[in-house]
Amino acid sequence: MKYKSTFVLILLMLQVFYSCTKETKKNQLNLIFIYADDWGYGDLGIHGSSFCKTPNIDKLAAEGTDFQNFTVSNPVCSPSRTAVMTGQFPARNSVHGHFATVESHMNRSMPDWLDPEVTLLPRLLKNAGYKTGHFGKWHLSNTPVGDAPDPTHYGYDEYGAFNLPYRLHQMSPDSTIYRAIDFIERNSESPFFVNVWLHEPHTPHYPKEEYMKKFAQLDAQKQVYAAVLAEADAKLGQLMNKLKELGIDENTLVIFSSDNGPEYTSEKKWMDDNSTGPGYSSFYSVGETGGLKGRKRSLLAGGIRVPFIARCPSFVQAGHVDTTSQLSAVDILPSFLELASVDLPEGYQPDGESIVKALSGEQFERSKTIYWDWRYADANSPHWPSGAIQEGNWKFLINEETQRCELYNLSNDWAEQENLVEQYPEKVKTLETKLDEWMKTLPTKAKSSCFSKERQELLKKQ
């Protein structure tokens, strides 16, 4: 009888444990992070686009919150994505610009890939029981680096991607949403985290005839650009419909954002890409910033202030526009971990902070300073700033070589039109000193553990 009672007790304990675990998983939010590529702040219908139509993203905002004071951590792709993955400013991992060829990485003191051993959002969520997937652009290394790690080394259970090392299969950008939907269908009974990193509207552009016809009244440049965005918007609508069909709509947080501002328009009409193939080039890149100065590659608002729309019926305030909460890309990691009830690893210091209060509609007061490090500044162009700092409503930008600087009070000058350097010399001095001190904390060289075989051979010859 004693053994029988003990056995029954163990069974009861296991049943309680299973029920609690099942209930915990049921209550954990599913997390979908949609990261577009070069999608400008003004490229949305709700942000006043003059020619693009984005009804599904506009609906996402109507059913959630449109955060209009969100900035990315770098004005180009790879470092911007590194910030989301690590919760740290990308220069801490020596990711200063886009991943390209091994020789270019050597010239720019960059690694050949993002270090897979650092603290990473997908790995932390996977260890907490989440199913993890990545679909779409990768670019945490690049195609010419053949021996770079694949996404599974970063904590993803599954992936389909492009801008991968050449030894791996390059997925068609057209498949991104469909692969993500398939992953969600197969994992709808478990909490899941999935990146949906869109190609649109990065070059090359691949407009489909179906969407080109819808914008036949526009000139050739706008027609291509609007067609590309309209297709991406339509596919996002399919994803949202699938969440409702699966009955997981209420408990799924969907965030739509972009890795930087829109690309500059050029005279180049056609190009080839070693990962995605030939297509229309930047002649058709006529995205809009919504009146903000600067574009891609600039630390001015148009290069780093991008859309950030969050929707989750059980959690995020619907139909709300938030213009005051200061949000940064480095906030994604600590926020998603809090929503998943996952503690930050011991010894890990995020540069971001949880924005869960802001997401739920509560008042959010930022406590951490935002920094930018841009090492490819062109003093004679709109991307002249090499560094910037934002503390409270004050944003200071400087070019270290020329000492040109600008100061803005974002509380009443959101578009950065009135330079206040002359009026507030003490504020300039304070912010410049803080920026200098932060720059001194950054590594001066990349980790050798993130060097490719090709690089090791090149180093031997030096």
Using only C-alpha atoms, the chain has a radius of gyration, in whole angstroms, of 23
Q: How many CA atoms lie within 13 A of 335 on its CB side?
A: 24
Closest by CA to 294, choosing from 265, 262, 257, 328, is: 262
First to last CA, the chain: 79
Q: Which runs of consecutive H residues, i.e. helices, occur in 128-205? A: 176-186
* 394-398: strand order across its sheet: 370-373, 387-391, 394-398, 405-409
Left (φ > 0), alpha (ψ -120 to 50) or beta: where does 189 sit?
A: alpha
Residue type, 213: K
Q: What is the pLDDT of residue 17?
A: 40
pLDDT of the residue at 462: 86
pTM, two decimal places? 0.94
Name the burial class of residue 139, with classes exposed (0-12), middle (13-18) and buried (19+) by CB atoms within 10 angstroms of its CB. buried
What is the 8-class DSSP label of residue 145?
Answer: -
Q: How far apart are CA 356 and CA 31, in angstroms?
A: 13
**Distances from the Cα of 376 to the Cα of 144, 379, 400, angstroms:** 22, 10, 11
Query: What's the full length of the chain, in residues?
Result: 462
* Residue type, position 76, single letter: V
CA atoms within 13 A on the CB side of 436: 8
**Model confidence over 351-363: pLDDT tens digits?**
999 999 999 999 9
Torsion over CA: 366, 367, 368, 369 (sign) = positive
Burial class of residue 389, CB neighbours in 10 A (0-12, 13-18, 19+) = buried
List per-residue pLDDT tens for the chain, 462 residues long: 544 554 444 444 444 443 333 444 446 899 999 999 999 999 999 999 999 999 999 999 999 999 999 999 999 999 999 999 999 999 999 999 999 999 999 999 999 999 999 999 999 999 999 999 999 999 999 999 999 999 999 999 999 999 999 999 999 999 999 999 999 999 999 999 999 999 999 999 999 999 999 999 999 999 999 999 999 999 999 999 999 999 999 999 999 999 999 999 999 999 999 999 999 999 999 999 999 999 999 999 999 999 999 999 999 999 999 999 999 999 999 999 999 999 999 999 999 999 999 999 999 999 999 999 999 999 999 899 999 999 999 999 999 999 999 999 999 999 999 999 999 999 999 999 999 999 999 999 999 999 999 999 999 998
pLDDT score, position 12:
45
What per-residue confidence (pLDDT) applies to 3? 47
Q: Give the span between the Cα atoms of 330 and 114, in whole angstroms.
A: 16
Alpha helices in 87-201 (DSSP H): 102-107, 121-127, 176-186
For residue 393, give the amino acid letter. Answer: N
